[in-house]
Amino acid sequence: MKQSKQKLPKPKPKTVQRTEPTPGQQLKKEIEDAKRLNQAHNKELKTRGLKK
């Protein structure tokens, strides 16, 4: 039992997580970017008078 426990991989240090975000963090970032792009696009449409 003890040997199998020792073979478990150690948790990655926080510095690695910063350089390589988890899928959830990456997705959240992509959603935020998409929202910002969408807002900018909607604003552009409003200034052109295409969106009511």
Question: Is 49 part of any domain?
Answer: yes
* pLDDT value for 33: 94
What does the alpha-carbon distance between residue 44 and residue 51 come to, in Å, rounded to a whole number? 9
CA 21/CA 11 separation, integer angstroms: 14
| Count of domains for the chain | 1
- Which helix H or strand E contains 39, and what residues bound it? helix 23-48
Q: Which two tokens stand for residue 27?
A: 């997705």
Q: Is residue 39 part of a domain?
A: yes
Instruction: Report angle CA 28, 31, 34 to the nearest 5 degrees.
Output: 155
The pLDDT, as a whole number, for residue 2 is 57
Q: Each residue of 1-50: pLDDT tens digit?
A: 555 556 667 666 565 555 666 778 888 999 999 999 999 988 888 888 87
pLDDT number for residue 8: 62
The pLDDT assigned to 13 comes to: 59
Residue 37: domain span:
21-52
Q: Is 9 domain-assigned?
A: no
The answer to the question of residue 46 being in a domain is yes
